[in-house]
Structure 1
Amino acid sequence: MEIVISNLVKNYGQHRVLEIEELKIARGSFCGIMGPNGAGKSTLVKILGGLDGVTSGKIYYDGKESSGDVYQNMTVVFQKPYLLRDTVFYNIAYPLMLRKVAKKEIETRVRQLAEEMAMEDLLYRKAWTLSGGEAQKVALARALVFKPALLLLDEPTANIDPASMVVMESMIKQANAKEGTTILLVTHHIHQAKRLCGDIVFMDKGKVEEFGEMREVIFSPRNIKTKWFMEGEIII
C-alpha cells in the first residue's frame, strides 16, 4: 500500500503535535520512524491507522482518501498489546472471522502461523494468563494472519525478551519480503532499524526532518538534528 501525506497538521488544543508538508511511502517498502521522545511518531501511527483524526491536510492510501474500506486492509500493533478476553486462538482468528473467512481456512491459517511463531502451546491459553512477551507475539500474529497491505508497528518489541524479539522480527521481515506488506516501524533502536528497514523517516517536534535510504540517514545524515540523534544512538 502506498501512502501519500499532504499538508498534514494535527493539533491538541493550542498545541501543534504534527506538521508534515509532504511524505510519500512507496508500496511494499519497510520504513523506520525514528526521533526523540515527543517527536510525534506515535501520533502519526495512530492517524495513519485511523485511530485519530487530523486537524487539516490529506492522507492518500493507494491514491484513495482514508475511508472504512481502506482501514480494513491495515492494522496497528502497539508497544502494549491489547487482547480480547478469550483464548489465544480466538484472538488470532478474530480478524479472519470479521472478514467471514471459512472456518476450515481460519483453523489452517491460525495453526500455521502459531507454528511459525513457536507458540502452538499457547493457542488455548486465556489471554490474561500470558506473559508480556507472549501477549505481544499474539498481538503480532493477530495482525499478520489476514495479510494486511499496511502494517503499522509502534515499538512492538520494546518490552520483550531477546528470543521473542528474534521471532517477531523474523515474522515482520517475512511479511514484507513474501507478502509485499508495506511496513512502518517506530523504533528507538538504531540496530533494529539497521536489521529491518530499507528507509528511515527522522522526526523532531512534529516535523519530518529527514527521509531517505536507511544507511544514508543513519550514517551520512544531511540534517544536523538527525546527525546528533544518530551519533547518540550509535554510542549507546
Structure 2
Amino acid sequence: MTAGGTLSAPELLERAVRTWFPGEVAVVSSFGTESAVLLHQVALIDPATPVLFLETGKLFGETLRYRDSLIERLGLTDVRSLRPDPAALKQADADGVLWMRNPDACCYVRKVEPLERGLRPFKAWINGRKRHHGGQRAGLPLVEYVDGRAKLNPLAGWSRDDIEAYFERHDLPHHPLEADGFLSVGCMPCSDRVAPGEDIRAGRWRGQEKTECGIHNRPRPAPAAACGGCG
C-alpha cells in the first residue's frame, strides 16, 4: 500500500498519534476558517497532542480569540505559540512593514524559521491542507516526507462541502471573519475578502504571484519506512 493508502482521516490520525509516532507528532494549526475540523478529530484521539500555532505578531485579533475559544471548547491541553526570534525580527523588520517590501522574507522570519524551531522535537507533523485549495495543493498526497520528518495531510481529499458538513454535524464554531467574506485567514496585512465564485485562497497575498507562506514549499514523497508502511 502507498503511504496513507486508503485510510480515512480519523484512521490516519489515530495511527499517527497512537501507533506510528506516539509522543513524537505535532499538529500545526493556524486556527483559521477550516482548522476546527482537524483539531476536533485530534482532540477525540488525544487532546494532549501538541498543537503548534504560529503567532506572527500580525494576526487578526479575531483569530487569537477564536484560538482561545477552540482550545477551551475542544479541551486541547498543549497548544504552543511559536513566535519570531526577537533579534532576527528586529534586524529584518524593524519598522514592521517588511510584508509590504518583501512578503517572502516576512513569512520566513515570522513563520518558516519559528516553525523549523518548533518542529525539532518531533518526527512527524500533521496539517490541514486540502486539494480543493488549488494551486500547489491540487495534487496533495496523504503523506509526505520533508527534511527527515513525516508530514501528514489527513484532510487532503476533503471538499468544501465535506468541511461544512463536519462543522454542522459536530456543531463546531466558525471563525468569526468567515461571515465577513474571509474564507482563508492568515496575517492581517496579507488576507483579504473573497468574492463569490473566487478560489477559497484568492484573498491571500491579493494581487501577487505568491500563494504560500513557505512552510509547505518543500514536499517529497514519503518512503514506506517513514511511518512503518503507513498501511
Name the TM-score, length of structure 2 as normaliser. Answer: 0.31
Q: Highest Rg: 1 or 2? A: 1
Name the TM-score, length of structure 1 as normaliser. Answer: 0.30
More strand by share: 1
